[in-house]
Amino acid sequence: MNIQNIYESMEYGPALESREEADQWLSSKKRKLSLYIGGKWQSSKSGRYFDSTNPANKEFLAKISEADQKDVDKAVSAARKAFPSWLKLGPHGRARYLYAIARQIQKHARLLAVLETLDNGKPIRESRDIDIPLAARHFYHHAGWAQVMESEMKDYQAIGVMGQIIPWNFPLLMLAWKIAPALAMGNTVVLKPAEFTSLTALAFAEICDNIGLPPGVVNIVTGAGKTGEMIVNHPEIDKIAFTGSTEVGRILRKATAGSGKKLSLELGGKSPVVVFEDADLDSVVEGIVDAIWFNQGQVCCAGSRLLIQENISELLHTKLRARMEKLRMGNPLDKCIDMGAIVAPVQLKTIRQLVKQGKEEGGVLWQPSWACPKDGYFYPPTLISNVSTSSSIAQVEIFGPVLVSMTFRTPAEAVSLANNTRYGLAASLWTENINLALDIAPKIKAGTIWINCSNVFDAASGFGGYRESGFGREGGKEGLYEYVKPHWESEYKDTPQVFKKADSRKLKSPSVSLPAIDRTAKLYIGGKQARPDGGYSHPLYTPQGQLIGEVGAGNRKDIRNAVEAAHGAASWSKATAHNRAQVLYYVAENLAARGEEFTRRIAQMTGRTRSSSEQEVELSISRIYTYAALADKYDGRVHHTPLRNVTLAMPEPLGVMGIVCPDEFPLLGFLSTVIPAISMGNCVIAVPSETFPLAATDFYQILDTSDVPGGVVNIVTGDRDSLAEVLAKHDDVDGIWYFGSSSGSQKIEYASAENMKRTWVNYGKHPDWSNPKHGEGEDYLRHATQIKNIWVPYGE
């Protein structure tokens, strides 16, 4: 084209980023890349390789080693071997290495960006301006956390060897999200990049090598799902961190259930973009571009559901279509395009199939008039309007550049639609009314809420899901807890404290002249005593064999009723923290008033001495005080993200929690687990000690007289482990704590995979509940809450 023509047409021309250095880098490896294990480059034992290709033109980029079991074993033992000396190196030493990594990423930023774009198909603008700078920032930020770990995380220590599996949509960035916090907290790592995109992980390994990171601290094993499985099932790995689909996340939850491996999952999403009538609509349009056409929509938190206030729907659709027409798609290395290629044919096929289904289900499809490039895997930006909630494309994660839209009438309806999903990763809200924005943000069940922006990320802010979008956070202080364990956990015992039990041969009735008034402990559901649905009760005896009373045998229907009741009490979470604290103090006050009665009850059930029982009551009162005190002090944070905004990290209650209480302390065990949960605003279904349930059932009189709203605490007695399993399998229960056996822990984690409820189990290890270090503190509150990050940009 000559200059005169361009002068007249004012068209854009090609503007390709050079790939010369990236090609040189690949050639220097003879386009055949090895595994990085124990500080050495080595090809896989099997000698098998698979191809990495450029999705924009299908060209072969390099052969990638496929790690098999022996390679994974080797990597894990290298990481294991490196762990003690990496720990010994101390915070400052680790900080220096992390800092060096950050510097190296910056120094080689363009090479990494071009490799990423070649391998993944994302526009060079994104890899250059977003992925790589964010990755470097992640290491800088965590170099800081490494340095100050001893003061900032003083109750916590490294876990050991981390197995990390990352996706193909942000290869280097996801690597950074995984490796930076792991190393900062003193762990060593075996990481597997996605099979489609291994290049930058191997370039990263080279960086580790160049800065002299001690061998074995970071190991990179490449391969497909099978290699991933080997990591997940490896007995020598202490924690699995995974980012990917909910489907695979569920498999990992089941596979690691009961193993004691810590697990964090960052999974799929169907995030809403909620647009209110007073929003700056031109800015909304750009926000939508960032939400769904960033990285071709292959973003777990992509804003893929557009919810528009009905009266502006037509106007916004018109603006949106005009904007879509202007998007430029092409060679990802072109600096003048907005959208690149879809990562692989399998992904393209899924997108096509889902869009087809959406059309068949009545959605109105709109795509720009321009044609996609033909030489690679491309899919145009797509808007499907008139979508109903029942349509599959409104529910299923498409993981492509496809936006579905629907309308709402009121803020309340917007919230209902936004939350009408199994996922809960992110949401963006658009309004110029701060009252409305800050009203809606807490109501949406998602880990990240962006107000008047979308898809902004930073190392200082935790990212992660609610519901089936997974659990755990990456980034910020909240993300560090995924890579540490409390110091005191090592003090837990393999067996619970043993108390004398009744000798069944000596069973007898109480010997009194007048028959005692029959007193049966019922279940406590929705603030009322309820007879067990099954109509059975079981007798309870003192260790001496005296009949104490009978306790209701709760069954699955009682659990169902209790869960309903707990949901009915949801306004508890909206009560002010001060108000919750006051209620808890009142509970403590009433317990103190009836201390003598509980002392006798504990002594009677357990056969323990009076002073030991008295001590349990005293500790219980103190424990309630602790959480009454913390209720309005367990604050969130305001993160220093490098934008003009406040990022509010707010702990929110999980919602409805099942709590399976420890067996050994009838009252203290019940209160140590139930009170922290309700202090944060959760509503609870408690399954008390099976052996000594009566302290808990006596307690409902205290709940009744202490202004605890009905349904906040529900008590179902009976066969503990079977009730626990019903709770774990209940999809309307958001979290479950279990303090029991090792096999019970396994069952809870396994059954929880279905709705990805948050679990906290003891794997058969028993804390000493009478020891405040074990039995109370912020660790309990952390498990009773999840962090929501709300980004609030400001400036008029």
Active-site positions? 266, 300
Question: Using the rule CB under 8 A, is 593 a contact of other proteins?
Answer: no
Amino acid identity for residue 26 in this structure: L
Based on the shown chain and the rule CB under 8 A, indicate whether residue 432 belongs to the binding site for other proteins: yes
Neighbours of 281 (CB within 10 A): 18
* Min dist. Cβ of residue 110 to other proteins (A): 14
156-158 and 758-761 strand pairing: unpaired
- Using the rule CB under 8 A, which residue among 88, 154, 505, 644 binds other proteins? 644
Based on CB atoms, which residue is closest to other proteins, 454 or 697?
A: 454
Among 89, 224, 251, 336, binds other proteins (CB under 8 A): 336
3 belongs to the binding site for other proteins (CB under 8 A): yes
Nearer to other proteins, 121 or 764 (CB): 121
Q: Which residues fall within 8 angstroms of residue 187, CB to CB, at 6 or more apart?
A: 83, 86, 158, 159, 160, 161, 162, 238, 239, 483
**CA distance linking residue 456 with residue 463, whole number of Å:** 11
User: Is residue 227 near other proteins by the rule CB under 8 A?
Assistant: no
| 360 scored as a contact of other proteins (CB under 8 A) | no
Nearest alpha-carbon partner for 219 in 463, 386, 38:
38
Position among 18, 24, 27, 283 found at the interface with other proteins (CB under 8 A): 283
If the CB atoms of residues 9 and 511 are measured against other proteins, the closer one turns out to be 9
**61 near 26, Cβ under 8 Å?**
yes
Window of 104-112, 503-511, 679-687, 787-795 that interacts with other proteins by CB under 8 A: 787-795
Given 66, 116, 338, 664, the residue binding other proteins (CB under 8 A): 338
Give the nearer residue to other proteins in terms of CB position, either 124 or 713: 124
278 binds other proteins (CB under 8 A): yes
Kindly state the helix (H) or strand (E) to which residue 570 belongs, with its residue range.
none
Q: Cα separations (Å) of 39 from 88, 89, 211?
A: 18, 17, 11
- Least separation in angstroms between residue 311's CB and other proteins is 12
How far the first Cα of the chain sits from its last, in Å, is 44
Interface with other proteins includes 645 (CB under 8 A)?
yes
**509 sits near other proteins (criterion: CB under 8 A):** no
Contact, 162 vs 241, CB < 8 A? Answer: yes
**401/653 with CB nearer other proteins:** 401
What's the closest the beta carbon of residue 3 comes to other proteins, in angstroms?
A: 5
Q: Does 536 bind other proteins (CB under 8 A)?
A: no
Judged by CB, which is closer to other proteins: 104, or 789? 789
Residue 534: CB minimum distance to other proteins, A = 58
- Residue 510 CA from chain centroid, whole number: 52
Q: For residues 664 and 670, give the distance between their C-alpha atoms in angstroms, rounded to a whole number.
A: 10
CB of 171 to other proteins, least distance (A): 21
Q: Which of 87, 124, 161, 118 is nearest to 23 (CA)?
A: 118
Distance CA 376, CA 56 (A): 4
Query: Residue 695 in contact with residue 675, Cβ under 8 Å?
Result: no
647 within 8 A of 457, measured Cβ to Cβ: no
Q: Which residue's CB is nearer to other proteins, number 325 or number 596?
A: 325
Please provide residue 789's backbone torsions phi and psi, each rounded to the nearest 5 degrees.
-100, 120
- Contact between 714 and other proteins (CB under 8 A)? no
Residues 449-488 that bind other proteins (CB under 8 A): 452-453
The binder of other proteins chosen from 51, 247, 280, 310 (CB under 8 A): 280
Please tell me whether residue 154 binds other proteins under the rule CB under 8 A.
no
Tell me the closest approach of the beta carbon of residue 406 to other proteins, in angstroms.
23
Please, which residue, 12 or 536, has the CB nearer to other proteins?
12
Binding to other proteins, residues 160-199 (CB under 8 A): none
Cβ closer to other proteins: 29 or 110? 110
Of 121 and 228, the one with the shorter C-beta distance to other proteins is 121
Helices assigned H by DSSP within 327-433: 345-360, 411-418
Residue that the structure tokens 């529910």 belong to: 395
Q: Which one among 223, 287, 358, 688 touches other proteins, defined by CB under 8 A?
A: 287
Stretch of 277-285, 603-611, 626-634, 651-659 contacting other proteins, by CB under 8 A: 277-285
Q: Is 516 in the site for other proteins (CB under 8 A)?
A: no
Chain residues 13-32 in contact with other proteins, contact rule CB under 8 A: 13-15
**Where does 43-160 show beta strands of DSSP type E?**
49-53, 60-65, 156-158
How big is the chain, counted in residues?
796
3-state secondary structure 158-224: ECCEEEEECCCCCHHHHHHHHHHHHHHCCCEEEEECCCCCCHHHHHHHHHHHHCCCCCCCEEECCCC
- Rounded to the nearest whole angstrom, what is the least distance from the CB of residue 326 to other proteins in the complex? 6
The site that binds other proteins (CB under 8 A) totals a number of residues, namely 39
Tokens coding 316: 């916004």
CB of 135 to other proteins, least distance (A): 18
Q: Is 370 in the site for other proteins (CB under 8 A)?
A: no
Q: Is 1 in the site for other proteins (CB under 8 A)?
A: yes
Least separation in angstroms between CB 461 and other proteins: 16
List 155, 247, 282, 707, residue binding other proteins (CB under 8 A): 282
Do the beta carbons of residue 206 and residue 167 sit within 8 Å?
A: no
Minimum distance of other proteins from residue 452's CB (angstroms): 5
Of 278, 303, 281, 279, the C-alpha closest to 292 is: 303
Distance between CA atoms of 603 and 542, rounded to whole angstroms?
9
Question: What single string gives the DSSP state of each residue in 271-329?
Answer: EEEEE-TTS-HHHHHHHHHHHHSGGGG--TT-EEEEEEEGGGHHHHHHHHHHHHHH--B
Point out which residues bind other proteins (CB under 8 A).
Answer: 1-7, 9-15, 125, 129, 278-280, 282-284, 286-287, 290, 326, 335-336, 338, 432, 452-453, 643-645, 793-796
